[in-house]
Structure 1
């Protein structure tokens, strides 16, 4: 039996990986290391899906110091690497869903605001790395989500038409990126953004569990 889509493009944090605790702790630790005041965790969660510099600019009130942002990002990545084994896990049903989709003949890739190397390392840690043909992180593009550059590159490298691909994510930026590329989109409700935020973004489909991905395989 064929698949509804030939290509499934997944966001990482909040979609494949239950990494919210790791992300929040890494942001908090980076701010502390750099002598900046703490922020409420919900402010970090609400920003998920954006690039690290964009999030730090929001959390710090827009400090005009590029070197300081570079230190904040470097410290975040250092902390994330340390905390990853303890504070990140695959969401329930993700492995089974990826197995089903790939067994049915579709390809899977990752398009994430994470650094590409971090995405690869994280996926391997979660035991799902072998399911993905390609990883595109924000270090490989100039224009970040919701601009569709990640998807432009993904489709160019896979040779698959936008009409045969679907973008899957937990944030409004994922849905906007997919729509800008002319792709169908699947919003997942187990990540960062609320159902209301996701509905407002206008996804093609909304699902409440990874097991529902079988509808598209």
Structure 2
């Protein structure tokens, strides 16, 4: 058997797995930043993280974030670090609100993920129900979707970050909220995500998972976490949907 034959068989097997995932899904749970859009494409997440750190330092609270955490320049990591050291505090509430404000600004200039709008409308048209399950602010997700004319495809099922930051993915809280509200068995749902914590949350909730990997780094991250089926373009999902129509 040649290597070309082996590769062809692997591609065929993964396409069949993709079709099985799609066929079984009555509800599709979408991560927001990645599969739907690049939230910080023009409103840099690194700059947001720096502003959050500066805000803490102006209040003499630099020590709440370690050097390693600062070096990530990841606003979610900054917020999580402060929450671990000052849980349930007014400080965390204020910092989370600042991050939400930044995400709302980012939503206004976010870059749509290629083929996302079309896939969302196609999946809705064939009868699936959709929800957003994200670590971002639900207000930012709602704002973006309304701006793209996609809010009717999801409303009211947008589940995002709350003041209970321990419930962020990989905790399955936002997925469980969606499943309960939509009255669906986890096995009849499907989550689309681009990060290992999306997969871990879906696994904890008992929800089948489909990875979106827009580049090799994302692909390696998802495969390393144990994801079996990935796509590099959302058009692959739409084509599989149309094949079944």
2:231 maps to which residue?
A: 207
1:96 maps to which residue?
A: 118
Deviation at 1:150, TM superposition (A): 1.7
Residue 10 (1) aligns with residue 10 (2): no
2:173 maps to which residue?
A: 149
Larger Rg: 2
Decide whether the 8 Å contact of 1:171 with 1:191 is kept in 2.
Answer: no
Pair 1:206–1:85, CA change in 2 (3 A): same
Deviation at 1:27, TM superposition (A): 2.1
Pair 1:197–1:10, CA change in 2 (3 A): same
Aligned mates of 1:203, 1:11 — CA distance in 2: 15
Instruction: Tell me which of 83, 106, 114 is aligned to 2:128.
Output: 106
Residue 31 (1) aligns with residue 60 (2): no
Aligned mates of 1:70, 1:205 — CA distance in 2: 37
1:153-208 C-alpha deviation (Å, 9 max, x unpaired) = 21111111111110111111111111111121011112896211101222242010
Q: CA RMSD in A?
A: 3.2
Decide whether the 8 Å contact of 1:9 with 1:108 is kept in 2.
Answer: yes
1:118 maps to which residue?
A: 140
Q: Which moved more, 1:74-83 or 1:179-188?
A: 74-83
1:113-156 C-alpha deviation (Å, 9 max, x unpaired) = 12222221122123322211411112186622112222222111
Pair 1:98–1:139, CA change in 2 (3 A): same
Decide whether the 8 Å contact of 2:107 with 2:140 is kept in 1.
Answer: no
Deviation at 1:210, TM superposition (A): 1.2
1:43 maps to which residue?
A: 72
1:48-102 C-alpha deviation (Å, 9 max, x unpaired) = 6x7x731x549xxx7658554444333222233334323x121111011111111
Pair 1:24–1:163, CA change in 2 (3 A): same
Instruction: Tell me which of 180, 190, 194 is aligned to 1:166.
Output: 190
Structure 1: gaps spanning 5 or more residues: none
Deviation at 1:108, TM superposition (A): 0.7
Q: Which has the higher contact order (CA 8 A, sep 6+)?
A: 1
Normalised to the residue count of structure 2, the TM-score between the two structures is 0.71
Normalised to the residue count of structure 1, the TM-score between the two structures is 0.80
Q: Which moved more, 1:144-153 or 1:156-165?
A: 144-153
Pair 1:198–1:57, CA change in 2 (3 A): farther
Aligned mates of 2:55, 2:216 — CA distance in 1: 25
2:99 maps to which residue?
A: 76
Aligned mates of 1:144, 1:82 — CA distance in 2: 21
